[in-house]
């Protein structure tokens, strides 16, 4: 990675916005029952992300959801948006417990991600591929 402090632009106000996520993470950790660390929640995350994708696939197949920039997800029925939101909650659970297994808080991960995205935006490399573009 480039030799640059990605957190230079951040201030305390931005960090405080993520504190609620740490509270969620502490609560999520109370529901962990799996042996060991990392493998089970990582596989759980992949599985739940697949369930989100499957629901979107069915919107395309069964509801003829359009594939264009004019589509707005808010036009979906409340029930379909709620079903997706519940699956996203399952993803959030596995992200939270995986972060805990790695010794990171969700707020730290959020800060790291925003810093990475801001750095890419500043360098005009938001599109493209590669972790360190």
Q: Supply the pTM of this predicted model.
A: 0.80
Between CA 125 and CA 133 the distance in angstroms is 6
Helices and strands: H and E segment counts in the chain: 5, 0
End-to-end Cα, the chain, rounded Å: 9
What mean pLDDT is reported for the chain? 86
Residues 58-113 have pLDDT tens digits of: 999 998 888 888 889 999 999 999 999 999 999 999 999 999 999 999 999 999 99
């Amino acid at each position: 990675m480039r030799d640059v402090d990605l957190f230079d632009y951040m201030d305390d106000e931005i960090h405080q916005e993520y504190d609620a996520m740490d509270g969620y993470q502490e609560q999520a950790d109370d529901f962990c029952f799996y042996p060991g660390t990392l493998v089970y929640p990582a596989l759980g995350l992949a599985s739940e992300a697949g369930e989100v994708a499957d629901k979107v696939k069915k919107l395309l197949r069964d509801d003829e959801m359009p594939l264009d920039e004019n589509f707005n997800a808010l036009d979906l029925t409340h029930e379909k948006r709620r079903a997706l939101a519940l699956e996203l909650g399952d993803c959030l659970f596995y992200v939270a417990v995986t972060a805990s297994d790695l010794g990171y808080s969700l707020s730290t991960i959020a800060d790291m991600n925003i810093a990475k995205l801001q750095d890419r935006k500043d360098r005009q490399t938001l599109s493209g591929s590669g972790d360190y573009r």
